[in-house]
A = this chain, B = another copy of it.
């Protein structure tokens, strides 16, 4: 077994027999968790000011480890994609879902060293958030979600299209009746779409609402008839997700009506 083969066994998700691989998994997962905590803490101004040096040090260590992981995955790609040629395998990894995630998880930090405009620096650092998705390798929740979106692609697109039409239509109607009465609030259809989203998802922040009687009547009809439609894309993903989870847990059996074979 070559050193590269051994490296591949370590960085791949442990199947329980390889101890070094398990330790590597735990280190990476802990590092992701610590990075998330660090991102959240950093966003508090008073914490960032006090511990700036520690945050930058931790960031440097994290990037180093993640970069090592990324390079390791590139050079061991031929074991992951055995059907690909020696040259194609690294690119197969680089352009795979997790290959892109891994790059996006370290790239901002490198660009940040070159970037000098202070205003953007902290916002840019937030893109380290992509490290969150590295979790997907160790937890099948994200994979299940992607499967669901793929399987229900057609229904999702159709209902999203309907949702979009309904939002646009509601927004225009309410704009027509409320613009005169509240020109500062319902200032444009773009703003009215925001009202339509808040209403049809039933979030209802209360920053925008109709005050004219006819506006109230239209909003009532839109709300009662439309909430079900807007709930559809969310419902499709939701129920699809739960079906996918229980499919893995139970094996539904089927009886052939002709020969009585249960399978």
Q: Which residues of B contact A192 (CB under 8 A)?
A: 43
Main secondary structure of the interface of A (DSSP, over half): helix
The distance in angstroms between the C-alpha atoms of A129 and B219, with both chains bound, is 17
Does A117 count as interface, using CB distance less than 8 angstroms?
no
Number of A interface residues in the complex (CB < 8 A):
84
* Residue A8, interface by CB 8 Å: no
A61-85 contacts to B, CB under 8 A, are none
Question: Within A240-260, which residues are at the interface with B (CB < 8 Å)?
Answer: 241-242, 245-246, 249, 254, 256-259
* A190-B43, A206-B204 given; A224·B197 CB < 8 A: yes
Q: Considering the chains assembled together, what is the distance between the CA atoms of A169 and B224 in angstroms?
A: 17
How many copies make up the complex?
A: 4
**B residues less than 8 Å from A159 (CB atoms):** 141, 241-242, 245
Binds B, one of A20-28, A51-59, A95-103, A228-236: A228-236
Contact B168 A139, beta carbon cutoff 8 Å: no
Q: Is the CB of B242 within 8 A of A235?
A: yes
Chain B residue nearest to A189 in the complex (CB): B43
Q: Do residues B213 and A197 form an inter-chain contact, with CB atoms below 8 A?
A: no
Query: Is the Cβ of A216 less than 8 Å from the Cβ of B194?
Result: yes
B257, A263: Cβ atoms closer than 8 Å: yes
A172: interface (CB < 8 Å):
yes
* Complex Cα spacing A183 to B232, Å: 35
Q: In the complex, which residues of chain B have a beta carbon less than 8 angstroms from the beta carbon of A257?
A: 261, 263
Q: Top 9 nearest A-B pairs by Cβ distance?
A: A228-B234, A228-B238, A256-B256, A203-B204, A206-B206, A43-B189, A258-B261, A205-B209, A205-B206
27 A-B pairs (CB sep. < 8 Å): A36-B168, A43-B179, A45-B187, A123-B179, A123-B180, A126-B175, A129-B168, A132-B165, A132-B169, A141-B159, A141-B165, A155-B242, A155-B249, A159-B245, A162-B241, A197-B220, A204-B204, A224-B233, A228-B234, A228-B236, A229-B234, A229-B238, A231-B234, A236-B242, A256-B263, A257-B263, A258-B259
